[in-house]
Every structure is written in structure tokens, then in C-alpha cells.
Amino acid sequence: MSHTSICPHCGAPNPNKTAWCEKCLTPFDPPQAENKTLDCPNCQHPNDYQLDHCEVCHEPLKPGQAE
């Protein structure tokens, strides 16, 4: 059983849990990203992948996102 998803843009393997490619930052399509979480880089709280900020500490969740 595979625990990775292959990015349709660059072909890089990614953990199934991710909502975008860790190499090229291409967002995965909603069917591939549904039920995914984003762990907050500040407090590690699992957040819905569609959120921009952590539900607990309000830290930005997405790469390159500014306050």
C-alpha cells in the first residue's frame, strides 16, 4: 500500500496528507485533497486544508503566505 501521492505537475512523490506538492507547490485538485489537513507550523494543530490560518493560534498555513 502506497502512502504517497504523485504530483500531476512535476511528478514528485508527496505524503498523502498534503494539499499541495512539497516540491513545486502546485495545489492538488479537490478530489485528491479532500479530507486532508494542514499541520500548523507553529502549534502543530491539524487544520482543514482549505483554511489560510490556524484555527488555534492564527499562524499562516500556506507556503509564502504573509500575515
Pick the more confident residue, 64 or 46: 46
What's the predicted TM-score (pTM) here? 0.49
pLDDT band at 57 (very low <50, low <70, confident <90, very high): very high
Domain spans in the chain, listed from the N-terminal domain onward: 37-62
Q: Give the DSSP letter string of 6-65.
A: E-TTT--EEETT-SB-TTT-PBPPHHHHTT-EEE-TTT--EEETT-SB-TTT--B-STT-
Q: For 66, phi and psi rounded to 5 degrees?
A: -100, 160
Is pLDDT above 70 for 49?
A: yes
